[in-house]
Structures are given as structure tokens and as C-alpha cells.
């Protein structure tokens, strides 16, 4: 029997006091529990309470051998409980890179990995296990970590990157490991980023997950607002106290179905209204600019720049910057920047000749204008860190040879 000492004093506990707890992971698509994250808890019989072992596992000052043994005890109990339950759910097991690197420094064969031994011993399905590579101060060989992860993947296990955004090494690991699932702890990210930066980073992670083909899992969710944020970022897997705290038993698969039905219906209505409102805002800008610049389409090159400058006073007051390029992306007019203090526009002649053909919004406009004869283009909201404001860019074909670029304030 394995014995260890607690942090609270000199009281000793045996291995029966180490009990795996399971926090449900809800799939937004079918509104049911599709998996559980396995978390370590230690039972205190005097208090009749469970205490988290998270601090123990992440401590770099502890003796690694007993911690490793505790991890094995919890892992086997979780797999055994899954087998006895007969459920087809998945279990997410946290594995720190340093643990993996130190324990498996030689003999990299599938049969030497404890989780694989347990799968064979209890006869559970391989697709029921997900390996979470947690954020940790990894000081081992990245090549060895890649080899270990590939063994798991070849065996049929799914790979998740945990605590995405909490450490700088995660981007490197994503590139090397190409996870099946990317986990974002919004509680960790919220503590280190302001509101706008927080949303922008989440948006970038969302786009990255889509391009990699990885599922996106948001954990640390505590409110319906955070569920809506996760859904707006494309996360189909949801985890947090909003649904349930970790507990020693599995829940009914449909425990949160009614709750998720209500959340999804409310989210859909809200987002639909937002999209409609965004479309109306865009159309109002398009109609106004179309009205203002309609007479410029026939201006020859000699008169165009002069006529363009004369209509600045007619622009809506949310136009922050405006200029015109030729079809190859070269700027042919000065840039006119809104003077935020005094009003009116400041003329910048030195930007004539700049090239914007490489900009995504310009490339998209050219492609859609050529293929669909589309005159207008609008970007998704962007952020100006210098002026601390959100904006969108409108592009408009004034003629076959001239494309208008307008930066428009898009503050909510």
C-alpha cells in the first residue's frame, strides 16, 4: 500500500483516500455530456471533505516519485470506474510534459506507457481516452515529447493542448503536436488581459483552431455570458462550474440538455439580431458613401484628386481615414485623417505611392470585384492599439481603375 504525507501536518493517508473526480464536458452540438476531465482529490475522513491535488502536481519542489505514484493510482481508479460504468464517454487525463519526459527517457514503446497498459488491462475503447498536454515549465527535449505524443496518437488516443494562452510555449507545442483539441481556460486569460485584448486573442485562437482542424474547448466557464462568448468563438466543447463542479461520480448524459437548449436558443436569437444590426450599419455607410462619391466615377485623372478633396466635409463623422488606390494597389490621393480634437481632416501627401495590394482586404475586394462584379467590401472589426478604438475597413470600386479605402469607427 502506498503512503504519503499531506501538507496540513503530520497526518498520513493511504491510497484509498486518493479519489478521482470528474468534471463534465458538454458538447454544444448535441447538448449532452460527451466527456469528463479527470482531476485528483484527496479525502480527509476527519472533515469528511475532498481537497484538490492540483497544487501538489504542479509543485516543482516536491519529490517526483510519490507524486508520480499518486497520479498512477488516480488514473487506474478512473479507468476502472469508466469500465464498470459501461458508459461510452471520454476521459481527459492531464499529463505534464516534464513528467512524460523524465519517466520515459528511454524505451519509447507503447506497452511501457501506464495509460496504454490500463486501456489493455480493462479493455476500454481507445477512442475513450484523451491525453491533455498541460502547460508546464518544460525543460526536456521537444523531440522526445513529439515522439511520446506520436506513440499516443498511433495507438489511437486523441491529443489536447491544455491551458492555452497561459504560457508562451503553447504556440510552439501547437505547431509541433497539432492537437485534436485546443483547450482555453478563460479564467486564466481574463486575469492577464484587458477586455478588448482578451476577446481579440480568443478570436485569434478560434481562427487558428479552425485552420488546424482542432476542436475548441473552453473551460473555466462560470456564467451564461461566458457560455455565449465560447459559442461566439466557435467552441463546441464547454466545461466549468456553470455546469458542474468535479464530483466522484459520472452524471446522466442528458443532465444539462434542457439548460443548453435554452442557452442555445437565446444565443441564436441574440447573434441573429447582432448580425442584422451589423448589416444595417454597414448598409447605411455604403449608401452614404455611394451617394457622396457617385459623381467622381467620371472624373479624369487631372481633376480626380482635386474633386476628392472637396467632398471631405460631406463625409459621415465616423470616417477616421480615407484615400483612393489604383487597381494595382498604389495610393493615388493623399490620406485624409480625421482630426479627433478639432474636427475636419488632416491631409498627408507623403503617403501617395504607398502600396496596399498585399493587404487581405484589398486582395479580397479585387477578387470579388472581378468574379462577382461586387463594388463593396467590408472587413470584420479590427483594433487600433494606438488610438484604442475598434474599426472596420470599407472598400469601394469608384471605377475599374480606382478603389476607395475608408477606415470607419466601429465602437460598440
Looking at the fold, whether 276 and 242 belong to one and the same domain comes out as no
Q: For position 45, which CATH number holds?
A: 3.20.20.450
Residue entry with cell 462568448: 229
Looking at the fold, whether 114 and 199 belong to one and the same domain comes out as yes
Looking at the fold, whether 354 and 396 belong to one and the same domain comes out as yes
Rounded mean pLDDT, 372-377: 92
Looking at the fold, whether 243 and 280 belong to one and the same domain comes out as no
Residue 404 has pLDDT above 60, yes or no: yes
Confidence of residue 105 (pLDDT cuts 50, 70, 90): low
The total number of structural domains in the chain stands at: 2
Please state which of the ranges 50-54, 143-147, 300-304, 389-393 shows the lowest mean pLDDT.
300-304
Decide which of 231, 255, 279 is a domain's last residue: 255
Q: What is the pLDDT of residue 192?
A: 66
How many CA atoms within 13 Å lie on the side-chain side of 270?
12
Looking at the fold, whether 206 and 134 belong to one and the same domain comes out as yes
Looking at the fold, whether 34 and 76 belong to one and the same domain comes out as yes
Decide which of 255, 281, 314 is a domain's last residue: 255
Looking at the fold, whether 250 and 121 belong to one and the same domain comes out as yes
Residue 396 belongs to some domain of the structure: yes
Confidence of residue 183 (pLDDT cuts 50, 70, 90): very high
Rounded mean pLDDT, 361-381: 93
Do 114 and 122 form a contact (C-beta atoms < 8 A)? no
Looking at the fold, whether 77 and 128 belong to one and the same domain comes out as yes
Looking at the fold, whether 246 and 211 belong to one and the same domain comes out as yes
Looking at the fold, whether 318 and 243 belong to one and the same domain comes out as no
260, three cell numbers: 443548453
> Which of the two residues, 197 and 322, has the higher pLDDT score?
322
* Gap between the Cα atoms of 286 and 393, Å rounded: 11
Residue 136 has pLDDT above 70, yes or no: no
How many CA atoms within 13 Å lie on the side-chain side of 146?
10
DSSP structure class, residue 58: T
Residues paired with residue 247 on neighbouring β-strands, in sequence order:
22
DSSP structure class, residue 375: -
Please state which of the ranges 124-128, 203-207, 286-290 shows the lowest mean pLDDT.
203-207
Residue 263 belongs to some domain of the structure: no
Looking at the fold, whether 238 and 352 belong to one and the same domain comes out as no
Q: What is the pLDDT of residue 2?
A: 40
Residue 4 belongs to some domain of the structure: no
Best-predicted range by mean pLDDT among 16-20, 68-72, 145-149, 393-397? Answer: 393-397
Mention every residue, 6+ apart, whose C-beta is less than 8 A from residue 272: none
Q: What is the pLDDT of residue 3?
A: 41
Looking at the fold, whether 331 and 226 belong to one and the same domain comes out as no
Rounded mean pLDDT, 93-106: 73
Rounded mean pLDDT, 193-221: 87
Residue 223 belongs to some domain of the structure: yes
Closest CA to 210 of 235, 229, 237, 185: 235
Decide which of 255, 282, 312 is a domain's last residue: 255
Residue 81 belongs to some domain of the structure: yes
Q: Note the pLDDT tens digit of each residue in 9-68.
A: 434 457 888 999 999 999 999 999 999 999 999 988 889 888 888 767 666 656 667 788
Do 63 and 93 form a contact (C-beta atoms < 8 A)? no
Rounded mean pLDDT, 202-208: 88
The reported pTM is 0.86
Q: For position 395, which CATH number holds?
A: 3.30.450.20
Residue 261 belongs to some domain of the structure: no
Percent above pLDDT 70 for the chain = 88
| Average pLDDT along the chain | 87
Residue 128 belongs to some domain of the structure: yes
Owning domain of residue 368? 271-409
Count the Cβ atoms, other than its own, within 10 Å of residue 303: 11
Residue 166 has pLDDT above 60, yes or no: no
Q: What is the pLDDT of residue 388?
A: 81
Confidence of residue 6 (pLDDT cuts 50, 70, 90): very low
Confidence of residue 205 (pLDDT cuts 50, 70, 90): confident
* Gap between the Cα atoms of 73 and 340, Å rounded: 64
Q: What is the pLDDT of residue 251?
A: 97
Residue 6 belongs to some domain of the structure: no
Q: Note the pLDDT tens digit of each residue in 243-254.
A: 999 999 999 999
Count the Cβ atoms, other than its own, within 10 Å of residue 17: 17
Amino acid at each position: 500500500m502506498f503512503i504519503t504525507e499531506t501538507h496540513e501536518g503530520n497526518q498520513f493517508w493511504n491510497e484509498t483516500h486518493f479519489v478521482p473526480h470528474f468534471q463534465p464536458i458538454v458538447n454544444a452540438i448535441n447538448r449532452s455530456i460527451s466527456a469528463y476531465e479527470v482531476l485528483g482529490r484527496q479525502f480527509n475522513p476527519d472533515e469528511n471533505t475532498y481537497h484538490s491535488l492540483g497544487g501538489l502536481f504542479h509543485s516543482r519542489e516536491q519529490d517526483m516519485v510519490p507524486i508520480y505514484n499518486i497520479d498512477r493510482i488516480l488514473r487506474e481508479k478512473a479507468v476502472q470506474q469508466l469500465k464498470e460504468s459501461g458508459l461510452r464517454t471520454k476521459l481527459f487525463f492531464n499529463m505534464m510534459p516534464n513528467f512524460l519526459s523524465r519517466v520515459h527517457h528511454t524505451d519509447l514503446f507503447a506497452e511501457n506507457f501506464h495509460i496504454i497498459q490500463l486501456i489493455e488491462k480493462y479493455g476500454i475503447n481507445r477512442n475513450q481516452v484523451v491525453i491533455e498536454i498541460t502547460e508546464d515549465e518544460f525543460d526536456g527535449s521537444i523531440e522526445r515529447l513529439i515522439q511520446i505524443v506520436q506513440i499516443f496518437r498511433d495507438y489511437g488516443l486523441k491529443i489536447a493542448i491544455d491551458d492555452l494562452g497561459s504560457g508562451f510555449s503553447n504556440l510552439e507545442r501547437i505547431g509541433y503536436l497539432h492537437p485534436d483539441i485546443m483547450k482555453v481556460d478563460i479564467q486564466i486569460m481574463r486575469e492577464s488581459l484587458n477586455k478588448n485584448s482578451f476577446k481579440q486573442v480568443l478570436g485569434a485562437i478560434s481562427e487558428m483552431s479552425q485552420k488546424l482542424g482542432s476542436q475548441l474547448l473552453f473551460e473555466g466557464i462560470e456564467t451564461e455570458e461566458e457560455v455565449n462568448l465560447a459559442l461566439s468563438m466557435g467552441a463546441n466543447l464547454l466545461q466549468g462550474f456553470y455546469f458542474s463542479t468535479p464530483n466522484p461520480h459520472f452524471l446522466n448524459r442528458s443532465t444539462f440538455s434542457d439548460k443548453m437548449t435554452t442557452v442555445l436558443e437565446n444565443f441564436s436569437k441574440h447573434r441573429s439580431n447582432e448580425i442584422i444590426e451589423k448589416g444595417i450599419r454597414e448598409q447605411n455607410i455604403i449608401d452614404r458613401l455611394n451617394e457622396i462619391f457617385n459623381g467622381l466615377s467620371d472624373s479624369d485623372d487631372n481633376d480626380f484628386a482635386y474633386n476628392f478633396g472637396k467632398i471631405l466635409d460631406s463625409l459621415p463623422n465616423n470616417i477616421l481615414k480615407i484615400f483612393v488606390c489604383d487597381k494595382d494597389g498604389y495610393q493615388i490621393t493623399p490620406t485624409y485623417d480625421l482630426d479627433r480634437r478639432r474636427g475636419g481632416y488632416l491631409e498627408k501627401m507623403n503617403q501617395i505611392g504607398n502600396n496596399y495590394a498585399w493587404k487581405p482586404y484589398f486582395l479580397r475586394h479585387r477578387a470579388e470585384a472581378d468574379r462577382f462584379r461586387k463594388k463593396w467590401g467590408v472587413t470584420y472589426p479590427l483594433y487600433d492599439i494606438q488610438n484604442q478604438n475598434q474599426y472596420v475597413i470599407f472598400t469601394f470600386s469608384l471605377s475599374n481603375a480606382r478603389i476607395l479605402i475608408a477606415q470607419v469607427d466601429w465602437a460598440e
